[in-house]
Structure 1
Amino acid sequence: MRAKPGFGDKLFELANAGMTKSGASDRFILAREDGDPDILWNVEVFKSDEAKGNYENSPLADKLRDEIINLLAEPPMRIPVHPYAALPINES
């Protein structure tokens, strides 16, 4: 996602809030480009297709989606993929 100039911090804040509050993901990565802090990459691994659908149709997703869209300089690029290897983080 490319934020409007100077809105990268707010975009990161909203995306991070969505990932941590939804509970729909096993794990996620939010990354900002070193050369352009207004570009945010989000890689999210959902617990299941059902969890993904429930989140995407939730009031939280609707609220965040509207706020995020207003921050973007251009439509977001979305590429659906399925992970073939992902290890859980050992929290011990």
Structure 2
Amino acid sequence: MALQDQPAYIIKMRAKPGLGDQLFELATAGMKKSGSSDRFIMAREDEDPDVLWNFEVFRSEEVKDAYENGPLADELRDEIIGLLAEPPMRIPVHPYSALPADPS
């Protein structure tokens, strides 16, 4: 499957003040546990450490749908929502390219 055929999300979540570490730990553990992502990057804003950006690329549309409709997603969603200061922003995308860093 070509990278451009893989569904992905860009997600922004803002934790309640002081709960950024807990949000990052839970979100990262959930990504590892689900096994549905081909790759993901968790990023933290320099100016606001309670803001998480997640760039997640799923293995396939079927794997994404199975995860989103499965019990782990429900469990994580409930836990994560309890940590948030505002509703999350989730933008569906498809990757255009992903290149390794230039070693030189």
Please give the TM-score of this superposition, normalised by the length of structure 1: 0.91
Amino acid at match of 1:42: N
**Runs of 4+ in structure 1 displaced over 3 angstroms?**
none
1:30-77 deviations in Å (ceiling 9; x for gaps): 000011110000000000011101111111111010000010000001
In structure 1, how many angstroms separate the alpha carbons of the residues matched to 2:22 and 2:65?
25
- Indicate the RMSD between aligned Cα atoms, in angstroms: 1.1
Structure with bigger RCO (C-alpha 8 Å, 6+ apart): 2
Structure holding more strand per residue: 2
State the secondary structure of the residue aligned to 1:79. Answer: strand
Aligned pairs (5 A) from 1:1-92: 1-87=13-99
5+ long unaligned stretches in structure 1: none
Amino acid at match of 1:84: Y
In structure 2, how many angstroms separate the alpha carbons of the residues matched to 1:67 and 1:83?
28
In structure 1, how many angstroms separate the alpha carbons of the residues matched to 2:59 and 2:25?
22
In structure 1, how many angstroms separate the alpha carbons of the residues matched to 2:88 and 2:17?
15
